[in-house]
Amino acid sequence: MCGIIARAGIGDALEELVVGLQNLEYRGYDSAGVAVRRADGPITVCKREGETDALEAALSGRALPGGTGIGHTRWSTHGAPSDANAHPHTDDSGRVAVVHNGIIRNHESLRRELREAGHRFRSETDTEVVPHLVAAALDDGADPESAFRAAVARLEGSYALAMIVDEDDAVYATRRGSPLVLGLGTDANYLASDVPAFLEFTDRVVYLEDDDVVVLEGNTYRITDVDGTPVDRPIETVEWDASDARKGVYNHFMRKEIDEQPVSLRQTLEGRIDGDRSELTAFPPGSLSDVDDVVFVACGTSYHAAMYGSTLLRRRGVPATALRANEFAHDPMPVSERTLVIAVTQSGETADTLASLRVANDLSARTLAVTNVVGSSAARGADEALFIRAGPEIGVAATKTFSSQVAALALLADRIAADGGGADAYGDETAGVGDHGGAYDPDSVRSDLESLPTAVETVVNDAGAARLATQFADAESYFFIGRGVGYPVALEGALKFKEITYEHAEGFAAGELKHGPLALVTPATVVIAVFTGRNDELTLHNVREAQSRGAPVVGVGPASATTLRETVDEYLPFPRTDPNLAGIPANVHLQLLAYHAAEIRDRAIDKPRNLAKSVTVE
């Protein structure tokens, strides 16, 4: 949410800054802007409300020579989207230009103080205080680096900041609570909110810590702590490929990422299953034997994956709960040193989730981040990390990372249960009307995890969701229901549907429908029922309740479940898989349903209204 990019080095900066902004647009698209220090001295700023296209149009035909510059793509927090509120922000004289991601909590008092000292403000943003603070320090005789440090010392809140100053060749940057990563190229170095920003220029990165101050000058860089003492941060090579972060032949990243799931799932699972056990390098057998209970914290799609994981653990007899990170952070449940708190987060930078991790650390729980991003704040802030290895996800709506999160959590659940000896909680008495029984058979789960990429491939190639998106395009509401692991999938299906179609969509536990939501069901409500092969006959009761009120029902379930097919009005089948994993292929159908429904409505699928990826504010 808000993307920043900075570049210093040989050759001109502008083109690379714009590429960086295009690559970061998933973090915000309310406005975009750049500031380049011209080779002969002054700073030129160009910024526009709207997507980076508007900025590019404003820049077209303009020569902005100079190797040093900063750029920003905005998701508004303080002040509406507008040219004036777009970053970079400058001081009165235009000597100092700053881009910022985060929230400066004490901006109002700083603004008052600066106004009284004669500074004039042109935007409603919290960020604008920074260039004015720097300018004030420069006026007092400080050099640019000292002025930057003095300004940062006044700030409260979260920030990743990058600054350039007139007649100075350097970029100055720092972070606290918002992501910032350094990219080391040959002719130039980069700073950005996220690696994909500069991945086409370099894969050598340095993950910065809170309060690091970085100075890029020519093609050299320097990292110091808040007192100016040099700090040594390791250089790492990112395994992601630059082409992974491009759309290629696709119209939308979301569709590309849906289609990538057979591959991303294979990456998640590779080398992690060995016959009768899950092999997680970070968690050898016995390493989780002191875990008594598990608490998941996460937001959005990751929360749904966490719910899924907690259900699997409970089925293995391990007490487990999933809580929304924005709730846990302020109302934590009791945990002990023997509680494993698992933060599930694709980006590893979600502020709510990081706040929960801090609380769990403070409460002395053992903490683990399950994340897609190596070097992310979550990976570094937790005691341990498990990487889902899904590759970069650019579409704002999370897709492939949900599948990989669930697969990784299934492996982890297996390891925790094996270490803790969790007894299967449910026996095999709950056989469904599908072709599967209801037991949790760890061997079956492991072996079906291995064939999951192939099952998902079948779903990705199925045209059923596209057809149904058209057939039900005129519905007033879309209700998603499921039970067991089908419940988080129903919630996820509804989330995906509402966020990219802007239609009314809700997810419910199937058994809950009759306790209230059924009042809303009419012939204009499409009910999408998720079946997993476990307790399906109960969900069928709920389906019939909806059908009696005239609602058409779409079933998503195992291909061979004939009773289900015959009862529902439409059916989206997936190949036989263990009921504990069936939510993954079912969810791929729901992703496709949302995608096609959004396409029919001509929505901005990769940049849904009011949303952005990686929510770095609480």
Applying CB under 6 A, the residues found at the interface with ligand F6R are 299-302, 345-347, 350, 353, 397-398, 495, 499, 614-615
- Nearer Cβ to ligand F6R (264/301): 301
**How many CA atoms does the CB half-sphere of 518 hold within 13 Å?**
18
- Nearer Cβ to ligand F6R (70/397): 397
d(CA 419, CA 285): 6
- Min. distance of Cβ 160 from ligand F6R in angstroms? 16
Closest residue to ligand F6R, Cβ-based?
A: 300
Strands 3-9 and 204-207, bridge-based pairing: unpaired
d(CA 382, CA 360): 9
- Min. distance of Cβ 40 from ligand F6R in angstroms? 42
CB environment 272-290: b (16+ within 10 A), e (fewer):
bbeeebbebeebeeeebee
**How many CA atoms does the CB half-sphere of 217 hold within 13 Å?**
12
Residue 299, SS3 per DSSP: coil
- Nearer Cβ to ligand F6R (86/397): 397
- Between the CA atoms of 567, 258, 448 and 408, what dihedral angle is there, to the nearest 10 degrees? -120
Nearest residue to 493 via CA among 520, 528, 462, 522: 528
Which residue spans within 152-263 are E strands per DSSP? 157-165, 171-176, 181-184, 188-192, 204-207, 213-217, 220-224, 236-237
**Can 46 be counted among the known catalytic residues?**
no
Q: Report DSSP state, residue 283.
A: B
Strand arrangement, sheet containing 553-558: 504-509, 477-482, 525-530, 553-558, 570-574
- Nearer Cβ to ligand F6R (164/258): 258
- Nearer Cβ to ligand F6R (259/448): 259
d(CA 360, CA 26): 29
The two tokens of residue 118 are 């004669």
* Partners of 206 in beta bridges: 182
- Min. distance of Cβ 353 from ligand F6R in angstroms? 5
What is the three-state SS of 502-566?
A: CCEEEEEEHHHHHHCHHHHCCCCEEEEEECCCECHHHHHHHHHHHHHCCCCEEEEEECCCHHHHH
Going from the C-alpha of 3 to that of each of 76, 133, 181, 372, the distances in angstroms are 11, 22, 12, 18
Residue among 47, 400, 607, 613 flagged as catalytic: 613
Alpha carbon 150 to chain centroid distance?
Answer: 33
- Nearer Cβ to ligand F6R (122/358): 358
- Min. distance of Cβ 398 from ligand F6R in angstroms? 3
- Nearer Cβ to ligand F6R (68/301): 301
* Partners of 384 in beta bridges: 368
Indicate the residue type of 377.
Answer: S
**Can 2 be counted among the known catalytic residues?**
yes
- Min. distance of Cβ 394 from ligand F6R in angstroms? 11
Going from the C-alpha of 267 to that of each of 263, 406, 407, 442, 592, the distances in angstroms are 6, 13, 11, 21, 22
Residue among 2, 256, 299, 400 flagged as catalytic: 2
- Min. distance of Cβ 59 from ligand F6R in angstroms? 30
- Min. distance of Cβ 350 from ligand F6R in angstroms? 3
- Nearer Cβ to ligand F6R (347/367): 347
d(CA 559, CA 491): 22
- Min. distance of Cβ 207 from ligand F6R in angstroms? 16
- Nearer Cβ to ligand F6R (34/528): 528
Question: Which residues carry out catalysis?
Answer: 2, 613
